[in-house]
Amino acid sequence: MSKQCIARVKELLSNSDVTAAKQDEIINQIKISQAEMQLGNVETINVDAVAKNVAEQLQLQKKLNKRNAIENEIKIRNYIDYVMNEFTDNPEEGLIALLVGSNRRVAGARASVDAQQIASTNQLIVGFNQKLKEANLEKLFRDADANTERRIARTMYEIGQNKAELTEKNPEIIKLAQIMEEYSDMVRTKLNDRGANISKIWGYIVRQAHDPFMVRDAAKRLGKDINTMTPDPTLKGDDINYNKNFTAWKEFVISKLDQERTFAGVDNINEFMQFVYNSLVRNQNMKTDGMHYGARATQDVAKSAKFKRVLHFKSADDWVDYNQIFGVGNLKESFFSGLQSAGRHIGIMDTLGTKPIENFDKIRNGVGQRLIKAGRSTQKIANEATFNKYLNVVDGSIYTVEDFALAKYSAMTRSVASMAKLGGATISAVSDIGLYATEMKYQGRSFLGGMFEALSSLARIKNKQQVKDIAEGLGFVADNAIYDLSGRNQIGDTLNKQWTNVQRTFFKLNLLSWWTNSLKEGAMLGMANYFAKQKNISFNDLSPQLRNLFDTYNINEVKWDVIRKTAMEKADDGREFINIGLLDKISDADVKRITGMQDMTARELQVAKDKFKASVSGMLLDRTTYAVIEPGAKTRGQLTQGWSAGTYMGEVLRFFGQFKAFPLDVLNKTIGRDLAYFKGANKDVARGIIGLSTTLVTSILLGYVAMTAKDLLKGRTPRQVNMKSFFDAFLQGGGLGLYGDVLFKESRTGGEILGSLAGPVPLTGLDLILAAQYGIRGEGGQAAKSAYKAVSNSIPFMNLFYIKTAFDYLIGYQIMEYMNPGGMRRLENRMKKDYDQEFIFGRP
């Protein structure tokens, strides 16, 4: 728009009652509108048309803000009532339950933000995969090379621009691009239905992925010698490498941008680009609460979902050029990354509204006011730190990065430690079978039946395609398990794609990915089949265990009637399952029955239907993490205390927490589930004792099986059954699991074990310090042995259980004996004394 037009508008506004801040908003909106309408020649601009467009946008936003405010207020009041009614004796736990769930046997205790986010994300992925299958385009999407991806992106762009004739002529590429573009726009609509105001734009989902590691190393990625680059003197700060990398990134990306749209309403382009760069490097796009540099309650999630899209590329080719250098991976990974981000947004808005952090604070304060009126203490709920550690998980803050270099190299170190220590993880995971069975018993099934189901899932090479489709429809996504397997044993880190791919490969080779995916798929199908068998039973006549389970996920009599009427499907093998995909077909009348609301708009009906579908899927997904332990938001919050990566405290806690997520989650879920029987108005002490006893006995038995299997793989005879073996078996099977592999080595003393609780990386450092101490004392052989063990036990892939034993017998033991003559004899004597064990094939 011409300067004269802007000046005229400013003059009119200055003579009006509009505040200065609002005047700036209107002027910026006019500039943005001009760019959105692609008005190039200022002489042909229809000022009235632009003004009308701006007025409509501002009016729409006002309506959205008003509607969002009303809906947020309703959620706040309902949750205050909920906490006070269902968690009367412990409102602190009720508030935590809203975020990450609780084991308390009360309505809605597990219907948390965390559960809703996981379900929403998986349902988006499942829905897209289903469309690919229907069009027979899975292979093209999965295996597309760089050139094909570029052609797909171009076609998406042209479809998004509503071009009459497409450049691409390959019908499969056109169809795939159409599916991706339509699905992307459908997700955008879902976000808008929940209060966002995101304008139509091509590739909304696929264009949100950035790799912070690539962005931070921009100069290297662009082939520039950072040592010969000249820093930008206008930038503040002493970090010269940061200065040069930002400059390289900015110079590359700015040439790819539609500058009219990207910089509409921006006064200082360099400052704007630095803000974007900092946000990407710090992984701020992982946040789902609209926070701005840590200042809470300043923006809606609905707004942040729109304004995080700040880079508008000139064309599809420009975006592809950027994505190939600075994106998270190929087109597939970029698309799924966008779906995961959208799913997290949807999940948190469906529970806590468009201002989740601000709304949660209002809920907490409202509960506090109720307690004051009742003459009760508010000390616990007044402590923000109690809740912030969980808020920072569900809003994604713990995945943001403060000091990039510290976060990067710490994460890489922990990744090496994971791959160096977990070669025998699948053997240790034998205890999963017992935990699986205790969960099925909790749901009202038989313990032995649960064990048989778990073993059958492992023995089955693969399910028939129809059954696999049903499992995916329930929300099971195998790739998620592969991507997050290390999370079973540590808190999780943000790694670059090269390290991530290496880690994925390792967990495939040690068979843990197969083990976990098989059990999770079996658990999903087993529960869906069990629930389907109850379809002819009314809610009130269900077993007490199953009725209580449904109740904790807010599935009541009305919802159960809709599920059993609508969502049942029989597979080719005759088994019947719940099919969550069929819930898309429920009638408007059923939606109104579920919500208890009669006057509902089309938008409200669709949102309610989505939330209902996600809640059922969320129940199955959540209970699967009880059957096959997979640490969730609560455990991550406890281990990180909400500290971001790249902070000193955050990294210390991540090192300390490595491999402790699994045992802590056993405590939170398996043990916590049984301890819940001792609490509340409907407590059942007898059942709690039975549950804990079953877990204890099963842990000891399966822990012994795991220890025996590992001993046989090491070429040793089984341990004799004694109190020490029972204690070690309990630790192995009772939750300590893989961490026991790290701690309990033959040569460790009690003091060393206590010191090693700091984590595997400090443990390796301790080994090296011991080696140095031996050397100082002149015990060269012992020093060499300790150093060799520390180094050899820190080499990834060499510890895979089917490689380790062969290596030790052929090479490793000989090296140790050479370095420390007589060491193998002393090891054998210690084995005989402690466990009455000996080497099966004789002393190596």
Question: Does the residue 813 lie in any domain?
Answer: yes
Q: Are residues 146 and 25 part of one domain?
A: no
pLDDT over threshold 60, residue 17: no
Average pLDDT of span 617-622: 94
Q: Who wins on pLDDT, 332 or 361?
A: 361
Is residue 728 within 8 A of residue 703, CB to CB? The reply is: yes
Q: Which of 45, 74, 103 is the last residue of a domain?
A: 74
Question: Does the residue 718 lie in any domain?
Answer: no
562 pLDDT band (50/70/90 cuts)?
very high
Q: How far apart are CA 281 and CA 646, in angstroms?
A: 12
Q: Are residues 162 and 280 part of one domain?
A: yes
Mean of all residue pLDDT scores within the chain: 81
Q: How many distinct structural domains can be found in the chain? A: 4
pLDDT over threshold 50, residue 307: no
Question: Does the residue 605 lie in any domain?
Answer: no
Indicate the Cα dihedral angle 178, 180, 185, 191, nearest 10°.
160
Among 266-280, 338-352, 767-781, the range of highest mean pLDDT: 338-352
| Cα–Cα distance list, 696 to 600, 689, 704, 738 (Å) | 51, 10, 12, 17
pLDDT tens sequence across 502-530: 888 888 888 888 888 889 999 999 999 99
Q: How far apart are CA 436 and CA 580, in angstroms?
A: 23
| Phi and psi torsions of 376, nearest 5° | -105, 160
pLDDT tens sequence across 217-244: 899 999 998 888 888 887 777 788 888 9
Question: Does the residue 549 lie in any domain?
Answer: yes
pLDDT over threshold 90, residue 370: yes
Q: Are residues 843 and 828 part of one domain?
A: yes
Percent of the chain with pLDDT over 90: 35
Average pLDDT of span 627-644: 91
| pLDDT for residue 459 | 84
Average pLDDT of span 286-304: 45
Question: Does the residue 88 lie in any domain?
Answer: yes
Q: How far apart are CA 435 and CA 447, in angstroms?
A: 10
Q: How far apart are CA 76 and CA 354, in angstroms?
A: 12
Structure tokens at 35: 């760019």
436 pLDDT band (50/70/90 cuts)?
very high
Q: Are residues 538 and 494 part of one domain?
A: yes
Q: Are residues 241 and 223 part of one domain?
A: yes
pLDDT over threshold 50, residue 308: no
| pLDDT for residue 760 | 73
Question: Does the residue 593 lie in any domain?
Answer: no
Question: Does the residue 763 lie in any domain?
Answer: yes
Q: Are residues 269 and 124 part of one domain?
A: yes
Indicate the Cα dihedral angle 292, 293, 295, 301, nearest 10°.
30
| pLDDT for residue 419 | 84
Q: Which of 685, 704, 721 is the last residue of a domain?
A: 685
Lowest mean pLDDT among 80-84, 389-393, 542-546, 572-576: 572-576
pLDDT over threshold 90, residue 100: yes
Lowest mean pLDDT among 125-129, 225-229, 750-754: 750-754
Average pLDDT of span 394-417: 85
pLDDT over threshold 70, residue 106: yes
Q: Are residues 353 and 216 part of one domain?
A: yes
Lowest mean pLDDT among 112-126, 337-351, 440-454, 786-800: 786-800
| pLDDT for residue 744 | 46
pLDDT over threshold 80, residue 24: no
Indicate the Cα dihedral angle 259, 262, 266, 267, nearest 10°.
-20
Average pLDDT of span 283-301: 48
C-alpha dihedral sign at 612, 616, 617, 622: positive
C-alpha dihedral sign at 797, 799, 802, 803: positive
Of 119, 304, 299, 113, nearest to 196 by C-alpha is 304
The letter for the amino acid at 267 is: D
Q: How far apart are CA 752 and CA 743, in angstroms?
A: 9
Q: Are residues 134 and 8 part of one domain?
A: no
Chain centroid offset of residue 442 CA: 26
C-alpha dihedral sign at 329, 334, 339, 345: positive
Lowest mean pLDDT among 146-150, 369-373, 491-495, 539-543: 491-495
pLDDT tens sequence across 140-155: 998 999 999 999 999 9
Q: Are residues 227 and 144 part of one domain?
A: yes
Burial class (CB in 10 A: 0-12, 13-18, 19+), 650: buried
Q: Are residues 171 and 305 part of one domain?
A: yes
Q: Which of 74, 95, 114 is the last residue of a domain?
A: 74
Tell me which residue range forms the domain holding 813: 745-844
Question: Does the residue 352 lie in any domain?
Answer: yes
Is residue 645 within 8 A of residue 494, CB to CB? The reply is: yes
**Coil/strand/helix, residue 568:** strand
- Give the ranges where 659-737 is alpha helix by DSSP (H): 661-666, 672-675, 685-713, 723-733
Among 120-129, 333-342, 704-713, 822-831, the range of highest mean pLDDT: 120-129
Indicate the Cα dihedral angle 341, 346, 351, 353, nearest 10°.
100
| Phi and psi torsions of 757, nearest 5° | -65, -15
Q: Are residues 135 and 199 part of one domain?
A: yes
Which residues share a beta bridge with 568?
578
Q: Are residues 413 and 337 part of one domain?
A: no
